[in-house]
Structures are given as structure tokens and as C-alpha cells.
Structure 1
Amino acid sequence: MTQGDAGGESTPPPRGSDLARAALAAARQAAKSNPKRVVPRGTAGAGSRKRRRWSSSGADERDPQPLGRLASRIARERGWQENLAGGQVFGKWATLVGANIAEHAKPLAIKDGELTVQADSTAWATQLRVLQRQILAGIAAGVGRDVVTRLKIQGPSTPSWRYGPRHVSGRGPRDTYG
């Protein structure tokens, strides 16, 4: 025999529906003991309007947000704006520098504010060096002032037997053409 079995009969624990009925009865009792609030005529909907707050035809913070706005907020929060601005240089290259220059030169990389540009020919590389200030001004106007601060202009690339920035020096492929 357990402590709860004084008379031999045990009461089952209350179920969820019994607990809900007891809570409803307690709420009704509390409502009866409080005096009723008198609502003036014509203002019956005022309480429900505050509670529901239906969205109007205008935009508010609960409406679905455009993807661009959400992406820019995430980029700002995580500090990605500098990288995204650098990516805009590649995406808007033709509009930033002009169609004629974009036809003969392509951006390769941005590192620490230095944009590496590769020209089609050595003549175009020389021309880009002459136009360097105008190119930097166009990039600053289109993307931002501190995104690109210097240009590194390269001529056309030739095949190289050096693979990568770290290579082992040695004889190389001198004996391959037999």
C-alpha cells in the first residue's frame, strides 16, 4: 500500500482535457469577479483593430522583402560589402571603363585595393598605363572610392614552364623535343 492509497482507491492523474476544463473554469470565475468595462458605441472594433493590425495596401515590415534588400542587409551585417564591391568591378567592367577598353583588356584579380588588368597586346598595355587615372576615376565613380586604389597592368601572357608561384628551380623541360 502506498501513501496515496489511504482508502485503497487511487485517483488517476488529471488528463490534458481535465486541465483545460479547470483552466477555463478559473478564467470564467476571474472574469465574473472583475467589473465589466463599458465600451462606448461606435468603438467596439477599436480593440480588435489593435489586436489584429491588418496589413494595408502599402508596404510595411511584415510584407515579403525583395531579395536584393535582404542580401544587402546580410552583406552589411557580416562585413562582405568590400568583397561584393570588388565583384562589381568584374560584373560592370564594360560600363566602368568603356566598351573600347573592355574589348582589349580584362580584369584578373583584386587584392588589397590593387586591380590586376591584362591587355591583349603590349600596345594596349602601354595605352592603359597612359589612361590609368581615367580608368581609376571611372571605377571610383561606378563602384566606390576605396575599392580600387591602384592598377597593375600586364601585357599578353605567354606560355611559361613555371607552374604556380612556388616552383622548384632546376633544369626544366630542355630534353623534351628530342
Structure 2
Amino acid sequence: MPEPEDDTPAEEEAEEHRPDGLDLARAQTLGAAGAATTPARRRIPRTGLTPSGTRRGRSRPGEAQLSGARPDGRDPQGLGPEVDRLVGERGWGLDLQVRGVFARWAEIVGDEIGAHSTPETLVDGTLVVRTDSTAWATQLKLLAATLVKRLNEELGRDTVRVVEVLGPHAPSWKHGRRGTRDGRGPRDTYG
């Protein structure tokens, strides 16, 4: 008995199948593109139920959610609350406060003291402040207790316990790779 001629479409499908798999990839791409389209918004009846019979505002897992008039978790969020959440999760609160105090140093300690001193570090309650002259270092050492009180008002209780005041950086008189160990130094050449 001869075979019916309806087998030709099956043979054509077999011929379209490519051994490299491009036909399968093309079919999956077209299927994904069709699934990505947004569903048409349907009118919700006033009964409080959706056409599928569920309550308004609640969806079953796997159902597409439609946007409503009230804000929900899918709406864009402001940057401020997200940054606050990140700071809280990472524990950056005190570090940001300290950097804020360092940035406003002249405002906190006064313009005159702020012009001649700069905070360098705050580690374990010890604030290191560098001055531009030894006279200002002495003056700041006398004001250390007042400075601790003022900084703790800004940063919180017992954040700063000690203020370590350092004078200016000394100039380096060493030039080049070679030098003497027992040299007498630069001596007085300024007079």
C-alpha cells in the first residue's frame, strides 16, 4: 500500500530542524518576546472582585500585577530613604558624623582656631589635631577640655575622650640617598 502524501509536511519540518540548534534558540526567543508583552488593563467590576474571582489588590502567584492608584513596593523610591537604609546596614553612621565635623571644623571651633588647626584622625576616642605653629599647639592644648565638650555635643556622648595636639610638620633636611649618621644638623643659618 502506498503511503499517503500527508507525510510531506513532517519531512519539511525535519528539513527545517538545524543540527546547530539555531531553530530552537529562535523559537525560545520568539516565545519569550510574546510573554514579555504587558497584559491589557481590564475594567474591574464594582463588586470588589476581579474577573478571575479574587479580591481586588491581591494577586495569585504567577499572575501579572497591574498598577493601581495607591503607592506600592513597585513604585520608584526616593534616594534619601535608600541611602539612610544603606548607612544603617553598613554601620557608617559615626564615620559620616565624624567626616561632617571635620568638614565643619572652623564652624565648630571658631574661625581663628580653625584657620590654624586641622583635625587628622579620630580613633578610639582620641582626636588628633595638627596646628600650623607651636604657639597654636600650646593654645589648643589649653583649650582641649572645652574642645572635647563641644565635639561630644556634635557627635554624641563619649565619642571624643582625648584631644592630642601636634605641632607643625618639621622640615626634612635630608636630600638625596646618602647622609651622615652623626651629623650636627642644619645649624642656625637663619640669622
Instruction: Compute the TM-score of the two structures, normalised by the length of structure 2.
Output: 0.53
Partner of 1:76: 88
Pick aligned residue for 2:78 from 65, 80, 85: 65
Partner of 2:170: 158
How far has the Cα of 1:152 moved from its partner?
Answer: 0.5
Partner of 2:155: 143
Determine the C-alpha separation between the residues in 2 that align with 1:123 and 1:93: 19
Q: Percent identity?
A: 33
How far has the Cα of 1:171 moved from its partner?
Answer: 1.2
2:137 is the counterpart of 1:133: no
**Structure 2 portions without partners, runs of 5+:** 1-6, 8-12, 14-26, 28-44, 59-64, 175-179, 187-191
2:55 is the counterpart of 1:43: no
Classify the secondary structure of the residue corresponding to 1:134: helix
Alignment of structure 1 residues 77-96 onto 2, 5 Å? 77-96=89-108
Pick aligned residue for 2:122 from 77, 99, 110: 110
Q: After alignment, is 79-88 or 41-50 more displaced?
A: 41-50
The C-alpha deviation readout for 1:49-75, integer Å capped at 9, x for no partner, is: 44646254xx76544122x43233222
Partner of 1:54: 68
- The code of the aligned residue for 1:139 comes to L
Classify the secondary structure of the residue corresponding to 1:147: coil
1:76–1:49: structure 2 CA closer, same or farther, 3 Å change rule? Answer: closer
Determine the C-alpha separation between the residues in 2 that align with 1:102 and 1:134: 14
- The code of the aligned residue for 1:145 comes to R
* RMSD between aligned residues: 3.9
- The code of the aligned residue for 1:71 comes to V
Instruction: Compute the TM-score of the two structures, normalised by the length of structure 1.
Output: 0.56
The C-alpha deviation readout for 1:107-162, integer Å capped at 9, x for no partner, is: 11222221111112222212211211221122112222243221101122211468
Determine the C-alpha separation between the residues in 2 that align with 1:151 and 1:43: 71
Higher relative contact order (CA 8 A, sep 6+): 1
**Structure 1 portions without partners, runs of 5+:** 1-8, 17-40, 163-169
Give aligned pairs, total: 138
1:174–1:55: structure 2 CA closer, same or farther, 3 Å change rule? Answer: farther
Q: Which runs of 4+ in 1 moved over 3 A?
A: 44-53, 59-63, 172-176
Partner of 1:123: 135
